Chains A and B, each alone.
Chain A
Amino acid sequence: MAVRRQWFRQQRFRQQWFRQGSGRRGSVAGWGRAERPADGFALPLALGASLVLMLSSLSLQTSALQSMVQSGTALRQRRAEDRLASAAHQLVGELSGTYGCLLALPLAAWPQQGGVCSDQASQGRLRRNAVLGSSYRLLAWAPSGLDRMDLVLELDAVERQPPRRGRFSVRLLEGGHRAGDLQELGLRGVVP
């Protein structure tokens, strides 16, 4: 009986030793199933890195394109401002000479009191004219003080550009018979 018990102990010891031995052998090799890195990690890593690269470069390109669009808008705005300022010079130049009787008259009084130096057709041409290839409208011409007149012009809408308004101030000299100084008060008015 004692011999049999001794044999069972030896058998259990051998089983434990083999179990520990196989585990140790796996860990020593470093590629046991539990500790070995997962297969196929390179492809997802490359995919992720590629995605990040492409997204960041596309984002950069988008911001560059947006900047270009803004530059184009700024250039179109400057050209519209040029045309508005030119229109003001053209109109005030005409009011300062040929149509001098209209210079000190508000726009509403032109039809009644402006007949001395202008007829209906010429007044219509002053109200709606063209400069540098763009047509414009005279919206307001009214006194804004003792010797100043306010001028508001609107540039007609052209392709992809809204109508734009400009406001100017004109100083009158010689008792309102001559324009003295044309100043821009605002050229960035966009009609809503």
Chain B
Amino acid sequence: MNLLEVVVASALFAGSACGSARICALATASVAQDEHDQQLLERSDAALAVVEATLRQQPRPPLPLANCPLETQRLAAVVGLLPVPAGLSRRLGQSEAGTQLLVTVLAAGLGEPRTRLYSPAALGLCRREVTRATA
């Protein structure tokens, strides 16, 4: 064993330890980001589930049923009062005909937002106008 061998071996070990530490740091950061994204995904699931449960719990109105645009506006106001989980934001909208409620959940880590369309008529909460013009 001479000095040159010791120096080369030390340099080799130090280099690989440094590279390994960097790779470990990258892996740890990506695992942490992944866990954060998973939590956001679960929260967005929960947010959409709460919206759906709220819509299902709405009392079925007595006959004659309200028209769907009015009912959709009322449901949008009800959903707008629901709390939004931390780290998420929610956007409410209506379809062009006003007969469907669009709920969009946005999260910074999830990239493209999640959107669900709810039709009050499909839940028995309103009646759509029976005219060919709306087809």
Contact = CB atoms under 8 A, between A and B. Distances in A.
Contacts of B123: 179-182
Contacts of A171: 124
Nearest to A182: B122
Interface string B44-69: 11001000000010001000010010
Interface in A40-54: 40-43, 45-47, 49-51, 53-54
A97 B127 contact: yes
A78 B43 CA distance: 12
Contacts of B21: 57
Given A53-B17, A75-B110, A42 B122 contact: no
Contacts of B122: 88-89, 92-93, 96, 170, 179, 182
Interface in B63-111: 65, 68, 99-100, 110-111
Interface string B1-37: 1000110111011011101110110111011011001
Interface stretch (A3-11, A66-74, A159-167): A66-74
A97 B68 contact: yes
A64 B41 contact: no
A58 interface: yes
Given A53-B16, A90-B117, A93-B99, A43 B128 contact: no
A107 interface: no
Contacts of A68: 30, 33-34
A43 B5 contact: yes
Interface in A130-180: 131-132, 170-171, 173, 178-180
Contacts of A46: 8-10, 12-13
Contacts of A51: 16
Contact of A178 (B13, B68, B111, B124): B124
B34 A42 contact: no
Contact of A89 (B15, B41, B117): B117
Contacts of B65: 178
Contact of B100 (A37, A56, A78, A93): A93
A42 B11 CA distance: 11
B132 to A, nearest CB: 7
Contacts of A100: 130
Contact of A58 (B23, B111, B117, B127): B23
19 contacts: A43-B5, A46-B9, A46-B12, A49-B13, A50-B16, A53-B17, A57-B27, A61-B23, A64-B26, A78-B41, A78-B44, A79-B112, A86-B118, A90-B117, A97-B128, A170-B122, A179-B123, A181-B124, A182-B123
Given A82-B115, A85-B116, 4 more contacts: A53-B17, A78-B114, A82-B48, A93-B128
Interface of B: 1, 5-6, 8-10, 12-13, 15-17, 19-21, 23-24, 26-28, 30-31, 33-34, 37-38, 41, 44-45, 48, 56, 60, 65, 68, 99-100, 110-112, 114-124, 127-132, 134-135
